[in-house]
Amino acid sequence: MWQYIVRRVLQAIFTLFVLSLITFFVAKVTPGSPLGLDDPENAAKITPAMRKQLLEQYDLDKPVPVQYVLWFTKFIRGDLGLSLTYRNEHVQDILARTWPISAQLGLIAALLAISLGTLLGIVAAVYRNTFIDYASMFIAVIGVAVPSFVLAIGLILLFSLTLHWFPVTGWGTPERMVMPILVLMLGPLATTARFTRASMLEVIKQDYVRTARAKGLLERVVILRHVLKNALIPVITVAGPTLAGMLTGSVFVEQIFTIPGVANAFVGAIGGRDYPMIMAQTIIFGGLVIFMNLAVDVAYGIIDPRIRYS
């Protein structure tokens, strides 16, 4: 298995390298320039001499491949560079203040979504075709069908502006966290619930479950011992990417609730053509997703001994 992991990690590094190449060149062909150089309302301030000096200072006057090599050599030495938007701030520092926020939001929402979603799915499957099933699946359906930005708008209208329960903006204290977490978790919760229910029903049909029932075991025991264990294995496959997706922050949630997290920083970096920032975040986002996928594959193998790594 270690051999397998090492090979996957090496593959991941190469994948990230390709990703960084793609992002760098896409970002470079994007019209517009950093440092507000192309902003007409700003341009009156910038003299041609100043412009030249700034471009030189940030290596922006060099050919794009050279710029990539410069970025890359700095990167492997652990230097992410200076942000082109906040010129006296290092990309590391910006990431250090934005990541914890998004990670906190994502982690809470993901844990809630996965645990509640699984629970909802199990309950719906056990009590299939009863009112409980229909109610659970109704929640799940809503969760899938309502886009997060629509849900966010609805919640603001109801809980902030009408009932005055929760503030509209920000992050950090419990009452500020309720709505963003709700919005972020509902979609994955619904997906998890539907997936779990389907997986449960699949397992319940299996012969060994019928055998267990025929042996006269209590329904509860059948569900807990035989069904649950096998039904939850596939759920892990969705849980991993869900977690990764949520940790990278939600553009909509962060924009609407003005949460100073990574997704906002990423959007801002693209708008400001802040290349060092874009690159650093690309690597982190990509690395996170790849790591999660690897973790899922490994976990899968541990839980289900039938799986062989090759």
Partner 1 sequence: MLETLRKRVRNEQSAPDHPAMRAPENPWAKAFRRMLKNRGAALGLYVILFFALIGALADIVAPYDPIKPNFTALRQPPSAQHLFGTDKQGRDILSRIIHGARISMAVGFLSQGLTIFIGTVVGAIAGYYGGKVDTILMRITDSLYAFPTMLLLIIFMAAFGRGFINLLIAMSIAAWVGPARLVRSQVLQLKSQAFVEASHALGAPARHIILRHMLPNLIGSLMIFLSFGVPAAIMAEAGLSFLGIGLVPPTPSWGVMLNDGFAVLRALPHVVFFPSLVIIITMLAFMYLGDGLRDAFDPRSS
Partner 2 sequence: MSTNSNRISRRRLLKAAMFTGATAGLAACGGGARPAAPAGEAPPPTEAPPAAEAPQEAPAAEAPARAERVLYLNMPSFYGDPGAGTDPGCSGGANTVFTNQLMFSALVYLNEKMEPTPDCAESWTPNEDSSVWTFKLRKDLKWSDGTPITAKDFEWTVKRNVSPDISCGGGILYMMDIIKGAADYAGKVTTDPDTIGVKALDDYTLQFELTGPAGFFPIMVSYPTYSPLPKDRIEQYGKDTQWTQPQYVLSNGPFKMTEWKRDEYMTLLPNEHWHGYTEQAPGLDKLTVRMLKNQATAIAAYETGELDVIEVPTGDLPRVKSDPVLSQQLITYAELFTQYMLIPVSAKPFDDVRVRQALAIAIDRDAIADVLAGTVTPAYQFLPPTMLGYDKDLNPEMAYNPDKARQLLADAGFPNGEGFPKFWINSNHTDDYQTMFEAISAMYKDVLGIEMELALMDPGARGAWREQEPRRLHLWRERWGMDFPDSHNSMNFMVTGRLKGDYSKIPEWGGYKSTDRVAPLVEEAARSADPARRHELYRQADRILTWEDPYLIPIYYYVANLMMKPRVKGVYVTGMGPTYRRVSVES
* Site residues, partner 1 (CB under 8 A): 11, 14-16, 18-19, 22-23, 26-27, 29-31, 141, 144-147, 149-150, 153-154, 156-157, 161, 245, 248, 251-252, 255, 263, 266-267, 270-271, 278, 282, 285-287, 289-290, 293
**Considering the complex, what minimum distance in angstroms separates the CB of residue 249 from partner 2?**
12
Q: How far is CA 135 from CA 128, 131, 194, in A?
A: 11, 6, 12
d(CA 259, CA 98): 9
- Cβ proximity to partner 2, 169 vs 211, nearer residue: 169
Residues contacting 212, CB < 8 A, separation 6+: 221, 222, 225, 226
Residues from 75 through 94 that contact partner 2 (CB under 8 A):
84-89, 94
**Considering the complex, what minimum distance in angstroms separates the CB of residue 173 from partner 2?**
6
d(CA 139, CA 279): 39
- Cβ proximity to partner 1, 30 vs 47, nearer residue: 30
Which one of 230, 264, 281, 282 is in contact with partner 2 (CB under 8 A)?
264
Question: Per rule CB under 8 A, is residue 41 in the interface with partner 2?
Answer: yes
Contact 67, 59 (CB under 8 A): yes
Question: Per rule CB under 8 A, is residue 107 in the interface with partner 2?
Answer: no
- Taking each helix axis as running N to C, give the angle between helix 91-126 and helix 131-145, from 0 to 180 degrees, rounded to the nearest 10: 150
Binding segment toward partner 2, per CB under 8 A, in 9-17, 29-37, 67-75, 184-192: 29-37
Query: What DSSP state is assigned to residue 250?
Result: -
Burial (CB < 10 A; 0-12, 13-18, 19+), residue 198, is middle
Residues forming the site for partner 2 (CB under 8 A): 31-47, 49-50, 53-54, 84-89, 94, 97, 156, 160-161, 164-173, 175-176, 254-260, 264-265, 267-273
